[in-house]
Structure 1
Amino acid sequence: MTLWRHLCWPAWRDHPGRVILAIVAVMLGVALAFGVHLLNGAALAEFARAARSIDGQPDLVVRAASGPLTDADLAELLNRPEVSAANPVLEAQALWPGQTADAELKGRALSIRLIGLDPLALLASAAGARPLAPELLPQVEGGPAELVASNTVHLNGVARARLAAGATTLKLRLPIPGSNAPRDIELAIGGRIAAGNTPLGVLDIADAQALFGRLGLLDRIDLQLAPGVDAAAFAATLPPHWRAAPPEDEGARLADLTRAYRINLGLLALMALFTGSFLVYAVLSLATAQRLPQWALVGVLGVSARMRWRLILMEGLVIGSVGTALGLALGLGLAAGALKLLGSDLGLHGANGSSAELLFNQPLLGPALAYTALGLAAALVAALAPALTVRRIAPALVLKGLGLPAGRTLPAWLGLALLALGAALAWLPPVLGDTPLGAYLAMLCLLMGGLALVPALVRGMTATLVRLPAGALLLLARERSRDQATEARRSLAGVLVALALAVAMTVMIGSFRESLLRWLDHALPADLYVRSALRGADGLPAPLPAALVERLGRLPELARAAPQRSTRLRLAPGANPVALTARDIDTGSLPLVERWAGAPAPDAIAVWVNEAARDRDGLKPGRVFTAELVDGGRRLRLQVRGVWRDYSRQSSALWMDLADYRRASDDAGTTELALWLAPGQALDAARTAVRRLAGDDVELAAAGELRAMSLRIFDRSFAITVWLQAVALAVGLFGVVASQSAQALARRREFGLLRHLGLSQRALMRLLLIEASLTGGAGALAGLALGLGLSAVLVYVVNPQSFHWSMEMHLPLGRLTALVGLAFAAAVGASLLAGRRALGQDAVRAVREDA
């Protein structure tokens, strides 16, 4: 500690700004990574809590193998001795006219979820150790009779917050199955329920069946079994027309769906820590260069190389410890602030409960220790190179002014081998579902390989100086660059990594945005789009009235109308439904990425699937399979004719020709209409005409509005990416400034000797300019080449494997030129500024230090 106090502390005291920046670099990296982890955990915990509050905790959930359940199914289950309680459930989505759900979709009425159940069954189960759904049990002032009051809805806090002051009734509009006309209802407002973070209402099951137009029908039955009854064994005894399973773990389901997004976001946050380690390296290298005479002196006085090594590592450990501690606190604060700003459901429209509780209701010690280890490891790894430098110095030579020892050169074949290994790893399939682990390892190998090849690139650029007219400055620059090529790798490591990552993210985002624009041209060919504001229990738009569809097709403001039907399909018995869209199929205008060139299968309906269905469900072009329509239960024999690009979802989805769908299903319903304007007609006039016919029961959106909204969502989604990219680039640029300063200070005696030999200060500055241009140019070119290689991995591997979205490579040349120019200018400018400072010392005084 005495040596540390005399050798290290004075440098920290005299140059606190550099040390603070190194600590801030570690702090930001740890804070961003830890904060993102806490936010992900809080979002998953809140989603699971909200789902449990609505679905409850039954032992088994019974659904019909095909179609709905009936009251007779409920009676049969209640008569089984193994069942201690049963709660019938029926759900619907109602329209709440006059309310606005989303400012981006003006005029869209608010939807409210309605759940019909048996309050008395919930009340009876509430006395037990495991109540069925305690947060759905209405809290009323009266007795049980008020729970089942006729035409009464019990609302949660989110719905009550949208009520007009003093309101005692609620007017809603419901889609009626089998009817083209919705039904307006008025319900008395009853008690309160605690469940849900979106508008939710609970009704008695008998009222729900009558109001929803589904008399005698049920969506599901939640069962509570008698003590000692095994749920799996009981489910095996049920007849095949029932499908019984434990309640879905919604938290686990969401975790599976968002795993790729969360991993990518976490790695993106760790990018700041990765580049921050280069800043720590730059600061410690600068401090090492400034104190080299002191390290040499203590070496002559008996301090071993091993002790000098330990002192430098101790400096890195102190920087890492302080930065990590501050980063953990800042990460917790960032997560708490985000939850405070967005709500406990991260902005999903109105959350209940304390946001701070979500952070502390998840494990904190394990993640905190993991990110502490990452922060300390990053700082210690960054301190290794300066520590090795101090350990390898020859004290007597350094005291004579010979500067830093020559760096160890990595063979060029190692860099080429790492590049080849990275290219090979990129071909590996994803693991854990959608995690492109091989692609991430490939990117790391490409970065390390590029760093290893920097000396060879510098020597190659130096060789070009041989063809230039001979001169003292060129000779000095050529020999210096050849001998110190390894030092160029060290000084440019931070900016090379930061530039490569910045180029990669810029190309990926630009490619994604350009591909999205082209996809929107295919996905939104019409001028105006209409769909019902009413929703079915599954959340899909309710069918538009047939009379309205016919009248809209005859409007003089419109040239034509194309109907579309959105429904659901089961790819296997008992499987979760996937989206099916029936529309007029024009294969020439579809955004297809694969086509089936073989012969059509006999008696099979042609379908086109998105990339998620191809990758996750194995629906490759040409495959023939059988699927079941959720509505109606009809089984269809289908053949995949192609794969289309789908940026609107990450789940499986299919397209079918509308005529084929109607023949196979006998369903003539229309859920959406695409409208083309007649020549010379204005969009506003057509919108007014549609609204005049349809009223407030439809949602209207122009293609331009949908396009603008999609791009706003895209830009908002990648805002954090751009910000982290800027942080990483700034850290890398400061790293090259600090590294060049270290090199210039270490050469102060060399500059003094050259001044004695007759070179002017202006000539020395030209020498520095030549050297900096060589190393800076090598760094900029290597960063650009590495960035393009990384972007190819992101575009062609990471995105398809993580999100099942393919895209074309697009190079935003203007931004790339600005990034490369900024990195080159930073390297050259830093070298010149550092050289000017070093040359500012008196040459005679600098040489006298050698005596």
Structure 2
Amino acid sequence: MRLLQRSGVRYLLGHRWQVALAVLGITLGVAVVTAVDLANRSALQAFQLSAEALTGQATHSITAGSEGFAEALYPWLRIEQRQRRMTPVVEGYAEDQARAGRVWRILGVDPFAEAAVRPALGGIGTAGDLSGFLGRDDRVLMQGEVARELDLAVGDALELRVRGRVRRVVLDGLLEPQRPVDRQGLQDVLVMDIAAAQALLGRPGRLDRIDLVLADEAAADALRQALPAEVRLRPAEARADALLDMSRAFRLNLTAFSLLALLVGAFLIYNAMTFAVVQRRPLFGRLRALGVGRGQILRLVLLEAALLGLVGSVLGLVLGIVLAQGLVGLVTRTINDLYFVVQVRGVQPTGVNIALGLALGVGATLVAAAVPAAEAARSPPRATLSRADLEAGSRRRAPRLALGGGLAVLAGGGLLLVSQALLLAFVGIFLLLMGTALAVPLLVLVASRALARPAGALFGLPGRMAARGVSAGLSRSAVAVAALMIAISTVVGVGVMVESFRATFAQWLDASLEADVYISPPGITGDAAAPLEPGLADRLAAVGGVERITTGRYRRLPQAETDWRLRAYDLGGERAVGFLFRAGDESVWARLRTEDAVLVTEPFQSRYGVGQGDTLALPTPAGEREFRVLGVTYDYTTSAGAVIMAAERYRHHWDDDTINSIAVHAEPGVAVGPLVERLRVAAGDGALLRFRPSAEIRELSLEVFDRTFTITHVLRMLATGVAVVGVLGALLALALERAREMAVLRAMGCSVRQVRRLVLGQSLFAGALAGGLALPLGLVLAVALTQTINQRAFGWSLSVHVDPALLLQALGLALLAALLAGWYPARRMAATPPGDALREEME
């Protein structure tokens, strides 16, 4: 066995280019998986640490949705309900004016109540002189480690933008939490006295929640019965779990795309190990004839694969950590745009990340090498000495592989059609890809034979030989075609999905942005929608050039585990103009204005299983009230879903005249630009509002959309890069392997130019075949991604839009990859004297 190992090492050292390409493939695959895993884990850990630090020892929280509740509930709980271990909270977000991209969480607390709930903040009430902190509305506390990192000292000022206004606050003290979880979780928190936070955030007399420590669930049930109807008592971790659940589909999508890159890398390892076995078949045959056992040959090949996998995995981990530094910014930006505010300062690899990368890299390598290793071990000595036996075996196995591939495709299609689980849907997509890859050898044989005559008619004998040559080296070419096909189909599938999503989103925007100008207060993701000034709508309606205005009211209603988004609109008519209906139509608006009825968005229906004809119980100040669902509307603003109600019924049940947005409809022929200026004047000099024409909102919305899918494009390019490296190695190996055959042609009179054309022709034929197979597979993948994956992940229905230019680009990419792969061996073989290769043949 020691001699066999020395033989393996000599082989690897003698084929450095082949080893380098194989290691590069697994390195890139592991790097992509590691980078995505680190980025996802970093964002997830930052959110969880923040949630844990701010939860402290609390077991439950009292909430009332986005509007909060009157602070009088707090003394009532202390006096009437005898609750002692509890603390009130007001929270919001502020942008740091001096540090671009930094968002602070403003946490307003009662310093004297914190010790009972949050150990990290419990020392505030015993910190000595609190007169400055309690007596001023501009004092904040910050974690000492963060202050030192930002070069801030006590007494320094920070400028914060809160709901459009720039406010100056002063650092009054430093927090030095002892627990690591508190030090990490409070990195982006500014602590204020609760009265100061109420003033800063514009929430006088209101609380966002009360955190409590309850003895058991019986105590929780008793308190739940005593609470007013408009508030809810929830487990302390319920809100964090709900937010993480919303982002889980996004993170799963990223992981699936990264594993696709590793899959292509495994194809490359399979290709490299197959080539290594093919090149040493004569050696293995002699060794078998001399008495070397099958098990020894099997262990040798697997040991070589494990060595390559280990080297590639270690390099992939290093590269993945570097890539993660860039990817984490894209991941957190998308989470901030769509779900909640989270700040990630960097990535910190853990033992889990390293173990996962090594396990996936080495595991994928061993799995990929298992087939060629088994083939090398089980072949009789005489067969290993014959290359013809290898190719004959490849042809014999092609129908069986195609049959297995067909079964895999059927199984994958069944999972996509039947299963509702998102993870199983991804398994179905992988089965589709693998099943099609298994059918590639048979497809290569059929295509090579079918196209040989047309290629000969167009390009003469070299064209015919090029087509036949691909099937003659089936054991090599099939792997190269399969790897490139999977990569190009991914380019097509993901590209069509993104284009379909964008086109559907743009169509929805065109239908929804029915007004000319939209007015709203500034805000940050995660903030409650700020109310507009009372009477503002009437002043704007009187502006010259305004035909009519419509208003919107947005709030979150508390439920047992999470909040539901409620949108109440005053459309000023009998039809639901500006909505696209999946179930129902515009005429239901007349009933919504007079009946206890609502609409739900498509993601809400998908998430909670409530659709047209069902009833929905909503918490009102007078208790829960049932509303009938009259229709389902398309909506692409949030995957959490929303309930839509007419403003008349909302005001009737909630006795609330607040509005959060105004839509202005201009009279025919009125220019939008001058109208916006008149609206600003009417709103008043002190009004901090966003006045946005519908065209600008459309542009900004599409910009956020494109930003959201940046991470998807990056992963697609990385996976394609892995595949291009793979096909480069496969076709390069195939061409170099036939050097002796080319030397015979040279000796028979073929010119250097003809040999070069023949080699390039074979590569281009393989590339064209891979591209031709990838286009229909990519379209099937696109349909699965748009109609199944996105529907189950986010609850959005998408129409498929295929851009012919994308298909042409994908085909061009396949041809370019094949051309690059064939260029070097064509040049080398054409320049090699035929006598040298023939001399090797004689030896």
Q: TM-score, normalised by structure 2?
A: 0.82
Q: Taking structure 1 as reference, are residues 731 and 542 closer, same or farther at Cα in structure 2, changes over 3 Å only?
A: same
1:473-498 residue CA offsets vs partner (Å, 9 max, x unmatched): 67766765666556432231211111
Q: Do the aligned residues in 2 keep the contact of 1:69 with 1:220 (CA within 8 Å)?
A: no
1:85-121 residue CA offsets vs partner (Å, 9 max, x unmatched): 333x25376999x9699889xxxxx998462x43223
SS at match of 2:797: coil
Provide the residue aligned with 2:708 in structure 1.
717
- Using the TM superposition, give the Cα deviation of residue 468 of structure 1 relative to its aligned residue in structure 2, in angstroms: 8.2
- Using the TM superposition, give the Cα deviation of residue 5 of structure 1 relative to its aligned residue in structure 2, in angstroms: 5.6
Provide the residue aligned with 1:510 in structure 2.
499
Provide the residue aligned with 1:314 in structure 2.
303
- Given the alignment of the two structures, is residue 237 of structure 1 paired with residue 222 of structure 2, yes or no? yes
How much identity, in percent, do the aligned residues show? 27
Q: Do the aligned residues in 1 keep the contact of 2:306 with 2:366 (CA within 8 Å)?
A: yes
Whole-angstrom CA distance in 2 between matches of 1:676 and 1:163: 49
Q: Do the aligned residues in 1 keep the contact of 2:531 with 2:660 (CA within 8 Å)?
A: yes
- Of residues 476, 480, 491 in structure 2, which corresponds to 1:491? 480
Provide the residue aligned with 1:579 in structure 2.
566
What is the correspondence of 1:466-545 to structure 2 with a 5 Å cutoff? Answer: 485=474, 487-533=476-522, 539-545=528-534
Provide the residue aligned with 1:447 in structure 2.
433
- Using the TM superposition, give the Cα deviation of residue 713 of structure 1 relative to its aligned residue in structure 2, in angstroms: 2.3
Could you say what the CA RMSD is over the residues aligned between the two structures, in angstroms? 4.6
1:516-561 residue CA offsets vs partner (Å, 9 max, x unmatched): 2212212323332211348999711213321x22221222254443
Which letter does structure 2 place at the counterpart of 1:236?
D
- Given the alignment of the two structures, is residue 611 of structure 1 paired with residue 599 of structure 2, yes or no? no
Q: Taking structure 1 as reference, are residues 72 and 807 closer, same or farther at Cα in structure 2, changes over 3 Å only?
A: closer
Q: Taking structure 1 as reference, are residues 261 and 401 closer, same or farther at Cα in structure 2, changes over 3 Å only?
A: closer
- Given the alignment of the two structures, is residue 552 of structure 1 paired with residue 534 of structure 2, yes or no? no
- Of residues 648, 662, 679 in structure 1, which corresponds to 2:637? 648
Q: Taking structure 1 as reference, are residues 583 and 293 closer, same or farther at Cα in structure 2, changes over 3 Å only?
A: farther
SS at match of 2:299: helix
Which letter does structure 1 place at the counterpart of 2:226?
H
Q: Taking structure 1 as reference, are residues 140 and 702 closer, same or farther at Cα in structure 2, changes over 3 Å only?
A: farther
Whole-angstrom CA distance in 2 between matches of 1:100 and 1:594: 49
Q: Do the aligned residues in 2 keep the contact of 1:503 with 1:819 (CA within 8 Å)?
A: yes
Q: Taking structure 1 as reference, are residues 692 and 785 closer, same or farther at Cα in structure 2, changes over 3 Å only?
A: same
Q: Do the aligned residues in 1 keep the contact of 2:759 with 2:825 (CA within 8 Å)?
A: no
Provide the residue aligned with 1:741 in structure 2.
732
Whole-angstrom CA distance in 1 between matches of 2:834 and 2:424: 54
Whole-angstrom CA distance in 2 between matches of 1:385 and 1:248: 48
Whole-angstrom CA distance in 1 between matches of 2:80 and 2:387: 96
Q: Do the aligned residues in 1 keep the contact of 2:275 with 2:476 (CA within 8 Å)?
A: no
Q: Do the aligned residues in 1 keep the contact of 2:153 with 2:171 (CA within 8 Å)?
A: no
Which letter does structure 2 place at the counterpart of 1:121?
A
**Larger CA deviation: 770-779 vs 528-537:** 528-537
**Larger CA deviation: 247-256 vs 394-403:** 394-403
- Using the TM superposition, give the Cα deviation of residue 208 of structure 1 relative to its aligned residue in structure 2, in angstroms: 5.5
SS at match of 2:439: helix
Q: Do the aligned residues in 1 keep the contact of 2:310 with 2:362 (CA within 8 Å)?
A: yes
1:548-597 residue CA offsets vs partner (Å, 9 max, x unmatched): 22221222254443222223345x67863323242428446423233379
- Of residues 676, 680, 697 in structure 2, which corresponds to 1:687? 676
**Larger CA deviation: 620-629 vs 659-668:** 659-668
Q: Do the aligned residues in 2 keep the contact of 1:677 with 1:683 (CA within 8 Å)?
A: yes
Whole-angstrom CA distance in 1 between matches of 2:293 and 2:312: 29
Which letter does structure 1 place at the counterpart of 2:567?
L
Q: Do the aligned residues in 1 keep the contact of 2:94 with 2:161 (CA within 8 Å)?
A: yes
**Larger CA deviation: 586-595 vs 669-678:** 586-595
What is the correspondence of 1:107-506 to structure 2 with a 5 Å cutoff? Answer: 113=106, 115=108, 117-122=109-114, 125=116, 131-132=117-118, 134-135=120-121, 138=124, 142-143=128-129, 148-149=134-135, 153-156=139-142, 191=173, 196=186, 200-203=190-193, 220-224=209-213, 230-238=215-223, 240-242=225-227, 243-248=232-237, 251-335=240-324, 355=345, 359=348, 364-388=350-374, 390-391=376-377, 404-406=390-392, 407=394, 408-411=397-400, 412-431=402-421, 436-461=422-447, 462-465=449-452, 485=474, 487-506=476-495
- Using the TM superposition, give the Cα deviation of residue 688 of structure 1 relative to its aligned residue in structure 2, in angstroms: 2.8
- Given the alignment of the two structures, is residue 45 of structure 1 paired with residue 45 of structure 2, yes or no? yes
Whole-angstrom CA distance in 2 between matches of 1:112 and 1:769: 61
Whole-angstrom CA distance in 2 between matches of 1:591 and 1:627: 24
1:705-742 residue CA offsets vs partner (Å, 9 max, x unmatched): 33332233222222232222222223222322322233
- Using the TM superposition, give the Cα deviation of residue 620 of structure 1 relative to its aligned residue in structure 2, in angstroms: 0.9
- Using the TM superposition, give the Cα deviation of residue 750 of structure 1 relative to its aligned residue in structure 2, in angstroms: 3.5
Q: Do the aligned residues in 1 keep the contact of 2:519 with 2:663 (CA within 8 Å)?
A: yes
Aligned length: 811
Where does structure 1 lack aligned partners over 5 or more consecutive residues? 105-109, 126-130, 176-181
- Using the TM superposition, give the Cα deviation of residue 638 of structure 1 relative to its aligned residue in structure 2, in angstroms: 2.4
Q: Do the aligned residues in 2 keep the contact of 1:290 with 1:745 (CA within 8 Å)?
A: no
Whole-angstrom CA distance in 1 between matches of 2:51 and 2:208: 17
Provide the residue aligned with 1:698 in structure 2.
689
1:770-798 residue CA offsets vs partner (Å, 9 max, x unmatched): 65555433322111111111111111101
Q: Taking structure 1 as reference, are residues 551 and 75 closer, same or farther at Cα in structure 2, changes over 3 Å only?
A: closer
- Given the alignment of the two structures, is residue 563 of structure 1 paired with residue 562 of structure 2, yes or no? no
Whole-angstrom CA distance in 2 between matches of 1:724 and 1:537: 28
Q: Taking structure 1 as reference, are residues 658 and 404 closer, same or farther at Cα in structure 2, changes over 3 Å only?
A: same
Q: Do the aligned residues in 1 keep the contact of 2:25 with 2:726 (CA within 8 Å)?
A: no
Provide the residue aligned with 1:74 in structure 2.
75
Which letter does structure 2 place at the counterpart of 1:262?
R
Provide the residue aligned with 1:821 in structure 2.
812
Whole-angstrom CA distance in 2 between matches of 1:28 and 1:73: 56
SS at match of 2:796: coil
Provide the residue aligned with 1:727 in structure 2.
718
- Given the alignment of the two structures, is residue 25 of structure 1 paired with residue 25 of structure 2, yes or no? yes
SS at match of 1:806: coil
Q: Do the aligned residues in 1 keep the contact of 2:92 with 2:201 (CA within 8 Å)?
A: no
SS at match of 2:659: coil
Whole-angstrom CA distance in 1 between matches of 2:94 and 2:244: 30
Whole-angstrom CA distance in 2 between matches of 1:343 and 1:721: 13
Q: Do the aligned residues in 1 keep the contact of 2:93 with 2:527 (CA within 8 Å)?
A: no
SS at match of 2:695: helix
- Using the TM superposition, give the Cα deviation of residue 499 of structure 1 relative to its aligned residue in structure 2, in angstroms: 1.1
Q: Do the aligned residues in 2 keep the contact of 1:173 with 1:185 (CA within 8 Å)?
A: yes
- Of residues 590, 600, 616 in structure 1, which corresponds to 2:579? 590
Which letter does structure 2 place at the counterpart of 1:701?
R
Whole-angstrom CA distance in 1 between matches of 2:651 and 2:55: 35
Q: Taking structure 1 as reference, are residues 604 and 485 closer, same or farther at Cα in structure 2, changes over 3 Å only?
A: farther
- Using the TM superposition, give the Cα deviation of residue 426 of structure 1 relative to its aligned residue in structure 2, in angstroms: 0.4
**Larger CA deviation: 833-842 vs 339-348:** 339-348
**Larger CA deviation: 760-769 vs 241-250:** 760-769
Whole-angstrom CA distance in 2 between matches of 1:686 and 1:422: 56
Provide the residue aligned with 1:179 in structure 2.
none
Q: Taking structure 1 as reference, are residues 303 and 509 closer, same or farther at Cα in structure 2, changes over 3 Å only?
A: same
Where does structure 2 lack aligned partners over 5 or more consecutive residues? 177-184
Q: TM-score, normalised by structure 1?
A: 0.82
Higher helix share: 2
Q: Do the aligned residues in 2 keep the contact of 1:63 with 1:69 (CA within 8 Å)?
A: no
Whole-angstrom CA distance in 1 between matches of 2:368 and 2:160: 65
Q: Do the aligned residues in 2 keep the contact of 1:93 with 1:174 (CA within 8 Å)?
A: no
SS at match of 1:426: helix
Q: Taking structure 1 as reference, are residues 476 and 31 closer, same or farther at Cα in structure 2, changes over 3 Å only?
A: closer
Q: Taking structure 1 as reference, are residues 476 and 634 closer, same or farther at Cα in structure 2, changes over 3 Å only?
A: same
1:609-645 residue CA offsets vs partner (Å, 9 max, x unmatched): 112210122221222333234xx45654422232222
Which letter does structure 1 place at the counterpart of 2:642?
A
Whole-angstrom CA distance in 1 between matches of 2:793 and 2:120: 38
SS at match of 1:427: helix
Q: Do the aligned residues in 2 keep the contact of 1:419 with 1:445 (CA within 8 Å)?
A: yes
- Using the TM superposition, give the Cα deviation of residue 149 of structure 1 relative to its aligned residue in structure 2, in angstroms: 3.3
Q: Taking structure 1 as reference, are residues 665 and 311 closer, same or farther at Cα in structure 2, changes over 3 Å only?
A: same
- Of residues 657, 676, 684 in structure 2, which corresponds to 1:668? 657
